[in-house]
Amino acid sequence: MKSHGGTRSFSGEESSLPCFRFTQEQIQFLKTKFAHKEYPDRADTKHISQQTGLAIGQVQVWFANQ
């Protein structure tokens, strides 16, 4: 089987997205924002993205997983 540069999942299947880890500073910032507002709107999400250097989708997923 030919690999296309993805990573392997726990089941051994290839994933197209590499694992991403947040920095401690990003986590602290996200937790602070979450404590004030559990469901940020688009403007808040964009601001958090800009402040942390994360993609908007990463911010959305982090909040969804809390």
15-60: pLDDT as tens digits: 666 788 999 999 999 999 999 999 999 999 999 999 999 999 999 9
3-state secondary structure of 55: coil
DSSP state of 65: T
Cα–Cα distance measured from residue 7 to residue 19, given in angstroms and rounded to the nearest whole number: 8
Q: Which residue ranges make up each domain of the chain?
A: 21-64
For the entire predicted model, the pTM comes to 0.72
* CATH code at 21-64: 1.10.10.60
Q: Are 54 and 26 in contact (CB under 8 A)?
A: yes
3-state secondary structure of 37: coil
Q: Are 56 and 43 in contact (CB under 8 A)?
A: no
